[in-house]
């Protein structure tokens, strides 16, 4: 069997790169002295480590237990004779021991000088450290993190390695290399050039002359290399490549290359490890920026800069220096790269407010590029929020992961639920951690869907997820492809430069309207239920704390807790990171979050109590405080007053059934705790078929094909398990139905009661969850015929089809909603509100009479095993409310009623609202004092019904003027004026559908 010339040339090339050139990369090496100290616990500071007792260590020795830290003390002398070697550079060469995956998922190290200042990091594929000139002594301290490899090559087997604390297994790594080396620059450059040409060869049409020229040049270079004298022949080999490397690219597509290192703020490592990842990655970026003047590195997440400021001030100063020079670019303007579906509207606002203010105060820069490459889908409210925060552009990558449909655009205008648009780009290389190879560069052009409309795309290169960032090899590849025939032009640039160019050249970009739904990772709306319900509780308490603290500050002169609220907000925002709140991190992360949540709630309760005491005084009067935007129990929004009793409900037994009813609704609960009748008495409409009852716990086999904590496969629908076994149903003296029983291996109990304030059936469910690979849903089948559902998202709602006509509809079998969902047949509706959950599925089904009905199901619990093998095991509480005969307004009321309930207290007197709105569809979402500590009051409202609405806002305090501002609490070009008039009687507003309005009241 014969082989082609091309095959032989490529075989020779692979051997040359992998053997001869690699072996000749360092002309000479020199040993160093190594000592080590095992911290055997949590990381320590440099001064502690420097004073520790070290013992000798040798290359080849094992080291490290899971999550432990070892300090290596390295001393040596750079040989003086190396100064006589041309085209060389002395370096410290370090390999802590790579076991499979790339940087960010295993051993990493941060190298320091004897005074503790940072030089750079060492990681797999980036193991070099600059050293003094030849003839000089050298001394280093390496803080080596023995982070275990949680996921072995992408497998998802349960592992205990994600548990809190340092592990017990000894020697999970072995020190592979630690010595001084004299880097041969001719050999190093030859390697980079050959790799780029080899990659380009695979992208060029083999019938074209360019292909033959590259192949000839590579073969000539191979023929020029003497394996026994690589150093002496490398320059000659490089000369063979000059012509093919100098041939310019034709005019066409341009790839804008940005150095990047996506660093998950927590994922397969604990939160305490991320500041060290940031220090390692950012120090590498600063080092590269010093060496390569054209290199530009973009990094998001103000939280990560804050960590760096706190932990490594010298690296932070280096970052600030490079920000001033334009080589280090803060992007995103958010506190972290948060999830974009689950956080509430005000939380997304604060992501931008806290992040943007940090960037401005620390660096004097404002990012105009919203940056969420890896979040699991994007709310239809996001375009308006981002634009009002000063963002002009949006970047993401994740929608390319769709498991069913290919998203049709790469550069487009994304239109949100209110009509606001933001120019959006998906890098067509389909990754945010490219190695800048010719394959990725070529893919950027091949995949780009807007050919003819535009000719620019973005390439993010650098090791990511666990950090690491670009390597010098990647930068070299980028430079070599700047203007190289056979591929698109590659320019190192900033993200904003790319976006300006891309938007300018696309005069009529395509449009996508509504949410960017990710057809994957649907389980992230349900996994780690305690963290999700905890987030909703934190959001509710923060709203109340700010509302009452603002009122107390203005009316009573009580000091406003600026610092405390900022600290709490930043914690909550951190926990909304896209691998924390969605439930896809290791167990250690959730143990820390839940401890922190309890502290946060205690702090917020103290702020609320302190503020209400200042407002209402001390006394025996029974009062209720309502921080919600709508009246509850007769207490006006923003008021503290005595409740007005509207109770008209009654509970009675009828045989084995229990009826809970008032003048407007009636619910019948059978002996199994199921709702077998739900009647709107106003219209005399029944919504439940007793053969298909509601409030049914349903258990399914939940066995994802790949991403355990992330995914729910649609096949779960075909694997339902036996239902609940009810042991007892009783009616209490308080008119509450109690149910207890088992489902699967778990026990549960429920309390069902009628809320006269909203005419809703409130169902509180407690589950002691003991399942494995299971999905628990609470089901509400109805006889309503509809083709779409209404789902609350941040600052509004959107519709989703309940049919399965298209692949797009079929793929949306599980989706997130905020506080409520709603279905409607004509002018009659059914709503389901909650204060603990996000995941829903709402679909048509066939009723016993053959007619189509609509089933609402809310996902309560899952039981995945990776990355947390005991995810969700234990006790959980969930609360939902079922309303019949409802409309959108009542659904909204039900949602706020559960999430921001009235607070009971005793005091001396009632308190009038600080601000009031008389339009029923314009709701106040936030009342707070301005972040700049001026004492100005900030009031955020939004139009909730999806229709043009008018309202009058009355401010019950002295104010000198009022401005409409952006979310940063300063004027913003994206603000669309809503004030029609203002005077002593109030401020008249007109809002377009789902418009967000932020008013800043200046106080005299």
- Using DSSP bridges, classify how beta strands 511-513 and 411-415 pair: parallel, antiparallel or unpaired: parallel
Calculate the CA 967 to chain-centre distance.
20
pLDDT, tens digit, 9 for 90 and up, residues 187-230: 999 999 999 999 999 999 999 999 999 999 999 999 999 999 99
pLDDT at 647: 72
What angle is formed at CA 368 by the lines to CA 364 and CA 374, rounded to 5 degrees? Answer: 115
145-154 mean pLDDT: 83
pLDDT, tens digit, 9 for 90 and up, residues 939-949: 999 999 999 99
In this model, does residue 853 exceed pLDDT 70? yes
668-683 mean pLDDT: 98
pLDDT at 66: 96
260-272 mean pLDDT: 97
Task: Count the helices and strands in the chain (H runs, E runs).
Answer: 20, 52
Task: Quote the CA–CA distance of 767 and 746 in Å, as a whole number.
Answer: 7
**Residue among 1003, 876, 888, 884 at smallest CA distance from 935:** 1003
Taking CA atoms, 759 is separated from 287, 662, 821, in Å, by 64, 8, 16
Task: Quote the CA–CA distance of 976 and 968 in Å, as a whole number.
Answer: 15
353-360 mean pLDDT: 98
pLDDT at 156: 82
For 451-496, give the secondary structure using H, E and C.
ECCECEEEEEECECEECCECCHHHHHHHHHCCCCCCCCEEEECCHH
Largest CA distance in the chain: 101
In this model, does residue 648 exceed pLDDT 90? no
What angle is formed at CA 621 by the lines to CA 617 and CA 624, rounded to 5 degrees? Answer: 85
In this model, does residue 107 exceed pLDDT 70? yes
**Cis bond before residue 13 (omega within 30° of 0):** no
Burial of 1002 (0-12, 13-18, 19+ CB in 10 A): middle
Buried b (16+ CB within 10 A) or exposed e, 923-956: bbbbbbbbbeeeebbbbbbbbbbbeebebbbebe
Cβ atoms within 10 Å of 213's Cβ, excluding its own: 16
Interhelix angle 529-556/888-899, rounded to 10 degrees, is 90
508-516 mean pLDDT: 97
Task: Quote the CA–CA distance of 687 and 693 in Å, as a whole number.
Answer: 10
In this model, does residue 816 exceed pLDDT 70? yes
Backbone angles phi, psi at 101, to 5 degrees: -80, 170
Kindly give, in sequence order, each residue whose CB lies less than 8 Å from that of residue 137, ignoring residues fewer than 6 positions away. 75, 76, 77, 78
Buried b (16+ CB within 10 A) or exposed e, 958-992: eeeebebbbbbbeebebbbebeeebeeebbbbbbe
3-state DSSP assignment of residue 20: helix
Length reported for the chain: 1004
Cβ atoms within 10 Å of 562's Cβ, excluding its own: 16
Q: Which helix (H) or strand (E) holds 364?
A: none
Q: Which helix (H) or strand (E) holds 767?
A: strand 760-769
pLDDT at 919: 85
Cβ atoms within 10 Å of 456's Cβ, excluding its own: 25
pLDDT at 425: 98
**Residue among 422, 424, 330 at smallest CA distance from 385:** 422
Strands (E), 314-462: 328-330, 369-371, 393-395, 411-415, 421-425, 456-461
704-732 mean pLDDT: 96
pLDDT at 169: 85
In this model, does residue 152 exceed pLDDT 70? no
**Of the listed ranges 163-172, 209-218, 223-232, 971-980, the one predicted with least confidence:** 163-172
Residue 503 CA neighbour count, 13 Å, CB half: 18
pLDDT at 983: 85
pLDDT, tens digit, 9 for 90 and up, residues 862-888: 999 999 999 999 999 999 999 999 999
Residues 347, 348, 353, 358, Cα dihedral to 10°: 100
**Residue among 400, 462, 465, 502 at smallest CA distance from 257:** 462
In this model, does residue 154 exceed pLDDT 70? no
Quick one: pLDDT band at residue 98, thresholds 50, 70, 90? confident
In this model, does residue 494 exceed pLDDT 90? yes
Query: What is the pLDDT of the chain when averaged over all its residues?
Result: 97
3-state DSSP assignment of residue 831: strand
pLDDT at 2: 74
pLDDT at 153: 59
């Amino acid at each position: 069997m014969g082989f082609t010339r091309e095959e032989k040339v490529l075989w020779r090339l692979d051997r040359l790169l992998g053997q001869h050139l690699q072996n000749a990369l360092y002309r000479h090496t020199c040993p160093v002295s190594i000592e080590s100290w095992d911290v055997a616990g949590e990381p320590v500071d440099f001064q502690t480590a420097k004073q520790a007792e070290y013992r000798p260590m040798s290359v080849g020795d094992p080291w490290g237990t899971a999550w432990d830290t070892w300090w290596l003390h390295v001393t040596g002398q750079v040989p003086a004779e190396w100064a006589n070697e041309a085209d060389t550079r002395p370096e410290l060469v370090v390999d802590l021991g790579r076991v499979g995956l790339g940087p960010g998922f295993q051993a990493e190290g941060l190298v320091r000088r004897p005074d503790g200042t940072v030089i750079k990091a060492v990681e797999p594929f980036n193991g070099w450290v600059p050293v003094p000139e030849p003839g000089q002594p050298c001394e280093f301290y390496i803080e080596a993190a023995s982070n275990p490899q949680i996921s072995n090559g992408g497998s998802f087997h349960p592992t205990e390695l994600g548990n809190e604390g340092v592990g017990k297994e000894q020697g999970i790594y072995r020190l592979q290399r630690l010595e001084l080396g004299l880097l041969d620059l001719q050999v190093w450059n030859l390697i980079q050039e050959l790799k780029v040409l080899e990659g380009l060869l695979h992208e060029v049409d083999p019938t074209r002359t360019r292909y033959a020229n590259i192949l000839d040049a590579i073969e000539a270079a191979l023929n020029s290399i003497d394996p026994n004298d690589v150093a002496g022949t490398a320059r000659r080999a490089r000369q063979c490549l000059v012509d093919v490397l100098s041939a310019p690219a034709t005019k066409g597509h341009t790839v804008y290359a940005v150095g990047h290192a996506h660093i998950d703020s927590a994922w397969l490592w604990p939160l305490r490890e991320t500041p060290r990842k940031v220090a390692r990655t950012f120090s590498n970026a600063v080092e590269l920026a010093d060496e390569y003047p054209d290199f530009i590195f973009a990094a998001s997440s103000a939280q990560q800069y804050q960590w760096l400021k706190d932990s490594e001030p010298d690296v932070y100063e280096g970052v600030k220096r490079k920000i001033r020079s334009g080589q280090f670019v803060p992007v995103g303007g958010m506190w972290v790269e948060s999830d974009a579906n689950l956080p509430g509207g005000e939380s997304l606002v604060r992501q931008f407010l806290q992040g943007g203010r940090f960037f401005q105060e620390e660096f004097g820069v404002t990012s105009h590029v919203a940056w969420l490459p890896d979040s699991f889908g994007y709310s239809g409210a996001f375009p308006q929020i981002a634009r009002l925060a000063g963002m002009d552009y949006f970047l993401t990558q994740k929608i390319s992961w769709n498991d069913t449909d290919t998203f049709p655009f790469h550069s487009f205008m994304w239109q949100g639920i209110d009509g606001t648009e933001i120019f959006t780009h998906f890098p067509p290389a389909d990754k945010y951690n490219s190695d800048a190879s010719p394959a990725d560069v070529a893919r950027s052009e091949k995949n780009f869907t807007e050919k003819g409309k535009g000719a620019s795309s973005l390439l993010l290169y650098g090791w990511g997820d666990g950090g690491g960032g670009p390597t010098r090899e990647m930068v070299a590849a980028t430079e070599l492809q700047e203007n190289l025939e056979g591929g698109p032009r590659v320019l190192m640039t900033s993200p904003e430069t790319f976006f300006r160019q891309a938007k300018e050249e696309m005069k009529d970009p395509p449009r996508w309207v509504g949410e960017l739904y990710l057809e994957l990772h649907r389980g992230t709306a349900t996994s780690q239920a305690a963290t999700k319900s905890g987030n909703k509780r934190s959001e509710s308490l923060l709203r109340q704390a700010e509302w009452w603290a603002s009122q107390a500050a203005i009316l009573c002169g009580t000091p406003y807790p600026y610092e405390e609220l900022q600290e709490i907000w930043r914690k909550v925002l951190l926990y909304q990171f896209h691998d924390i709140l969605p439930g896809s991190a290791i167990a250690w992360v959730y143990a820390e979050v839940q401890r922190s949540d309890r502290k946060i709630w205690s702090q917020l309760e103290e702020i609320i109590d302190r503020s209400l005491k200042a407002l209402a005084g001390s006394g025996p009067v029974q009062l209720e405080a309502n921080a919600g935007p709508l009246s509850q129990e007769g207490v006006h929004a923003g008021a503290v007053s005595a409740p007005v009793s509207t109770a008209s409900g009654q509970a009675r037994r009828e045989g084995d059934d229990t009826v809970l009813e008032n003048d407007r609704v009636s619910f019948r609960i059978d002996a199994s705790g199921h709702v077998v009748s739900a009647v709107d008495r106003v219209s005399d409409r029944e919504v439940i078929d007793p053969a298909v009852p509601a409030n049914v716990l349903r258990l399914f086999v939940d066995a994802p094909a790949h991403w355990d904590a992330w995914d729910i496969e649609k096949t779960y629908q075909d694997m339902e398990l036996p239902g609940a076994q009810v042991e007892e149903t009783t009616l209490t003296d308080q008119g509450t139905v109690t149910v207890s029983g088992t489902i699967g291996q778990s026990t549960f109990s429920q309390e069902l009661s009628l809320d006269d304030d909203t005419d809703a059936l409130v169902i509180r469910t407690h589950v002691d969850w003991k399942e494995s690979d299971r999905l628990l849903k609470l089901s509400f089948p109805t006889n309503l015929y509809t083709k779409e559902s209404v789902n609350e998202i941040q600052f509004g709602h959107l519709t989703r089809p309940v049919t399965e006509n298209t692949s797009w509809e079929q793929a949306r079998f599980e989706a997130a909603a905020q506080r409520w969902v709603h279905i409607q047949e004509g002018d009659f509706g059914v709503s389901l509100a909650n204060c603990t959950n996000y995941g829903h599925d709402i679909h048509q089904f066939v009723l016993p009479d053959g007619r189509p009905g609509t089933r609402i199901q809310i996902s309560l619990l899952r039981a995945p095993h990776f990355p947390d093998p005991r995810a969700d095991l234990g006790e959980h509480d969930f609360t939902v409310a079922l309303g019949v005969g409802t409309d959108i307004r009542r659904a909204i009321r039900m949602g706020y009623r559960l999430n921001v309930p009235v607070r009971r207290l005793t005091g001396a007197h009632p308190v009038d609202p600080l601000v009031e709105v008389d339009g029923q569809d314009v709701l106040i979402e936030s009342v707070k004092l301005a972040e700049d500590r001026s004492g100005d009051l900030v009031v955020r409202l939004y139009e909730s019904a999806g229709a043009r609405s008018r309202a009058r806002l009355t401010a019950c305090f002295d104010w000198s003027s009022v401005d409409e501002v952006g979310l940063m609490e300063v004027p913003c070009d994206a603000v669309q004026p809503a004030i029609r008039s203002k005077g002593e009687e109030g401020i008249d507003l007109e809002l377009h559908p789902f418009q967000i309005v932020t008013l800043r009241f200046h106080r005299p």
